[in-house]
């Protein structure tokens, strides 16, 4: 079979990214233009600014991706683009760009689900990884525990009821004066702190029983493996308030480490329960929070203890990038998925919806 070259485009939040991926697993280029510095001024992502910056950057980023890969638009076999979920204005920039290139070059257009992209980052890093496997997708907008039944086919076991894990990192970082982006800053600060200094609560939605697992199989909106992070976030805020009211000093590194440990415990516990209940042999993590040092270490240990093969992308492929979109688009391409010229940005796109 001839090589399949796909241009992946990603603009769902605050990264403008383009990548050329060969045969789904070989990344020829991976260009990411981050807007972090711009949004730091405001303590978080400002959607209108994000959209404008995407417009400014997207052509440049695509040109660089093609150059680095040593190809031209004429060499491509398809264009893959994130069309949801994400910020509507930001998504629209990528979708419009992808449509324009695909139309002009008469190439197939493939709309990609952002979470499917995150999962696919693991295929790049691990050439041997194939479905089925259990995957926990932990990002700024999502926390999902899914069984990847086949390429592009997911059974959702659990999702967050309130905040996403990354959102909790970002909010707590702001509260303890670390600022945006919270995840990497807490990761770093926590290295000097004691994870057992403060006992923050762990929220567990389900209990680990076989009946529960069977129940979960048949019911779409199951609760057994759901996540909740808002209680933990409130506990941190209450702790800070209490310290302030009583004139007690608090230690930034200890709060960061103790909060992080609570998140890690919840993420590890849910994943290991599901792996056991569903007799999974392989487990992967994905999404921005999967770059977290403490989480990677804890997951590795838990997987060893539970005889699970553990897969995780390198940090640059955990946070938003277009290589993961190119890879996801490749498998969609193989299964014959093609988007029409009416492809639109879908900010609340659910996993599994097409």
Residues near ligand KG4, by CB under 6 A? 13, 139-141, 166, 169-170, 181-184, 187, 287-289, 291-292, 319-320
Of 58-117, binders to Zn ion (CB under 5 A) are none
Phi, psi of 201 (to 5 degrees): -75, 150
* Binding site partner of 256, from ligand KG4, Zn ion, none, Cβ cut-off 5-8 A by kind: none
* Binding site partner of 136, from ligand KG4, Zn ion, none, Cβ cut-off 5-8 A by kind: none
Compute the C-alpha angle 57/78/9, nearest 5°: 25
Q: How far apart are CA 271 and CA 287, in angstroms?
A: 15
The least distance separating Zn ion from the CB of residue 279, rounded to whole angstroms, comes to 29
Total residues interacting with Zn ion, rule: CB under 5 A: 2
Q: How far apart are CA 352 and CA 308, in angstroms?
A: 26
* Binding site partner of 228, from ligand KG4, Zn ion, none, Cβ cut-off 5-8 A by kind: none
Phi, psi of 168 (to 5 degrees): -65, -45
Q: Are 144 and 351 in contact (CB under 8 A)?
A: yes
Q: What is the DSSP string of 243-280?
A: HHHHT----HHHHHHHHHHHHHHHHHHHHHHHHHHTT-
User: Could you say whether residue 187 binds Zn ion (CB under 5 A)?
Assistant: no
The least distance separating ligand KG4 from the CB of residue 354, rounded to whole angstroms, comes to 20
* CB within 8 Å of 180: residues ≥ 6 apart: 36, 39, 40, 42, 43, 44, 170, 173, 174
The least distance separating Zn ion from the CB of residue 77, rounded to whole angstroms, comes to 25
User: Could you say whether residue 226 binds Zn ion (CB under 5 A)?
Assistant: no
For residue 289 the two structure tokens come to 């929070």
Buried b (16+ CB within 10 A) or exposed e, 249-259: eebebbbbbbb
User: Could you say whether residue 15 binds Zn ion (CB under 5 A)?
Assistant: no
Comparing CB distances to ligand KG4, the nearer of 17 and 110 is: 17
* Binding site partner of 291, from ligand KG4, Zn ion, none, Cβ cut-off 5-8 A by kind: ligand KG4
Of 129-148, binders to Zn ion (CB under 5 A) are 139
User: Could you say whether residue 35 binds Zn ion (CB under 5 A)?
Assistant: no
Comparing CB distances to ligand KG4, the nearer of 20 and 289 is: 289
Judged by DSSP in three states, 69 sits in helix
* Binding site partner of 10, from Zn ion, ligand KG4, none, Cβ cut-off 5-8 A by kind: none
Comparing CB distances to Zn ion, the nearer of 58 and 324 is: 324
Binding-site ranges for Zn ion (CB under 5 A): 139, 320
């Amino acid at each position: 079979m001839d090589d399949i070259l796909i241009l992946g485009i990603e603009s769902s939040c605050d990264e403008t990214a383009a990548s050329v991926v060969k045969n789904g697993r070989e990344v020829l280029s991976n260009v990411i233009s981050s807007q972090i510095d711009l949004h730091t001024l405001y303590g978080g992502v400002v959607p209108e600014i994000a959209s404008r910056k995407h417009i400014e950057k997207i052509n440049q980023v695509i040109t660089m991706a093609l150059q680095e890969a040593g190809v031209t638009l004429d060499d491509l076999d398809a264009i893959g683009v994130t069309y949801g979920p994400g910020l509507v204005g930001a998504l629209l920039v990528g979708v419009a760009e992808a449509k324009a290139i695909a139309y002009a070059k008469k190439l197939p257009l493939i709309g990609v689900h952002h979470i499917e992209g995150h999962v696919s980052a693991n295929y790049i890093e691990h050439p041997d990884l194939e479905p089925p496997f259990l995957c926990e997708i932990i990002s700024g907008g999502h926390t999902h525990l899914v069984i990847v039944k086949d390429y592009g086919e997911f059974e959702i076991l659990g999702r967050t009821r309130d905040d996403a894990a990354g959102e909790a990192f970002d909010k707590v970082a702001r509260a303890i004066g670390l600022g945006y982006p919270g995840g990497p800053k807490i990761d770093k600060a926590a290295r000097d702190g004691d994870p057992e200094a403060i006992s923050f609560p762990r929220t567990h939605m389900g209990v680990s029983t076989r009946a529960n697992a069977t129940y979960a199989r048949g019911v779409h909106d199951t609760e057994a493996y759901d996540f909740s992070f808002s209680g933990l976030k409130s506990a941190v805020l209450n702790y800070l308030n209490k310290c302030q009211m009583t004139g007690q000093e608090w230690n930034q590194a200890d709060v960061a480490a103790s909060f992080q440990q609570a998140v890690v415990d919840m993420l590890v516990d849910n994943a290991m329960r599901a792996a056991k209940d569903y007799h999974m042999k392989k487990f992967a993590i994905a999404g921005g929070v999967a770059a977290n040092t403490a989480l990677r270490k804890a997951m590795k240990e838990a997987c060893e203890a539970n005889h699970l093969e553990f897969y995780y992308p390198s940090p640059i492929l955990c946070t938003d990038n277009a290589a993961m979109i190119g890879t996801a688009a490749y498998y969609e391409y193989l299964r014959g998925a093609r988007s029409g010229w009416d492809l639109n940005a879908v900010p609340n796109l659910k996993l599994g919806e097409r």
